[in-house]
């Protein structure tokens, strides 16, 4: 199921695979990759993950998650990582990817626009959703249609 990820790089960054995780049907978790985002000089600037496929959890939680270290923010590293992860999604036969964020997270919303996303909706989280149970109430749902390679 998992593929070689050495191609996930550009002139500025690479995604270093840290681990993979199989699906967990009981928790409704999809198989996933976990990466460290590194500059070409080896500096670790953040992390990202990619969940393969679609279900209710990825509709509200997204196929891609990312976090950039404070001192490296503002350089579009998260958006550049997303663009690389779109290539991985295509290798898994996915036609689209969803990335979500909280409505008040301006930086993440900018990342979604930078990476070419379209805001599908600002959705109310279902009361049984883990994020709802942690106090969140809404998510911006960004859709990324993946064209031909």
Average pLDDT of the residues in 32-51: 98
Amino acid 71: pLDDT: 98
Amino acid 148: pLDDT: 64
Chain position carrying tokens 């990476």: 115
Task: Identify the band that residue 28 occupies on the pLDDT scale cut at 50, 70 and 90.
Answer: confident
Residues forming beta bridges with residue 67, ordered by sequence position: 47
Percent of the chain exceeding pLDDT 90 equals 93
- Three-state DSSP at 28 gives coil
Residue 149 clears pLDDT 60, i.e. is over it? no
Q: Residue 125: which of 137, 133, 107 has the closest Cα?
A: 137
The rounded distance, in Å, linking the Cα atoms of 34 and 18 is: 6
Do residues 65 and 49 make contact, with C-beta atoms less than 8 angstroms apart?
A: yes
Burial 24-50 (b: 16+ CB within 10 A, else e): eeeeebbbbbbbebbeeeeeebbbbbb
Amino acid 30: pLDDT: 97
Chain position carrying tokens 């679609």: 54
Amino acid 1: pLDDT: 87
The half-sphere exposure of 48 on its side-chain side, counting CA atoms within 13 A, is 27
Q: What is the mean pLDDT of the chain?
A: 96
Q: Which domains does the chain have, with CATH numbers?
A: 13-145 (3.40.630.30)
Average pLDDT of the residues in 136-148: 94
Do residues 123 and 129 make contact, with C-beta atoms less than 8 angstroms apart?
A: no
Structure tokens at 113: 């626009």
* pTM of the full structure: 0.95
Amino acid 141: pLDDT: 98
For residue range 70-105, list pLDDT tens digits in order: 999 999 999 999 999 999 999 999 999 999 999 999
Percent of the chain exceeding pLDDT 70 equals 99
């Amino acid at each position: 199921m998992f593929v070689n990820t050495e191609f996930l790089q550009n002139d500025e960054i690479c995604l270093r695979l840290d681990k993979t995780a199989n699906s967990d049907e009981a928790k409704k978790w999809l198989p996933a990759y976990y990466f460290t985002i590194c500059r070409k000089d080896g500096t670790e600037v953040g992390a990202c993950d990619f969940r393969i496929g679609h279900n209710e959890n990825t509709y509200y939680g997204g196929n891609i998650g990312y976090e950039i270290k404070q001192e490296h923010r503002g350089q579009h590293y998260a958006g550049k990582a997303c663009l690389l992860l779109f290539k991985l999604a295509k290798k898994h036969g996915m036609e689209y990817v969803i990335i979500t964020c909280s409505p008040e997270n301006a930086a993440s919303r900018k990342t979604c626009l930078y990476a070419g996303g379209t805001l599908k909706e600002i959705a109310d989280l279902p009361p049984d959703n883990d994020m709802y149970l942690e106090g969140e109430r809404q998510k911006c749902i960004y859709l990324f249609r993946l064209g031909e390679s």
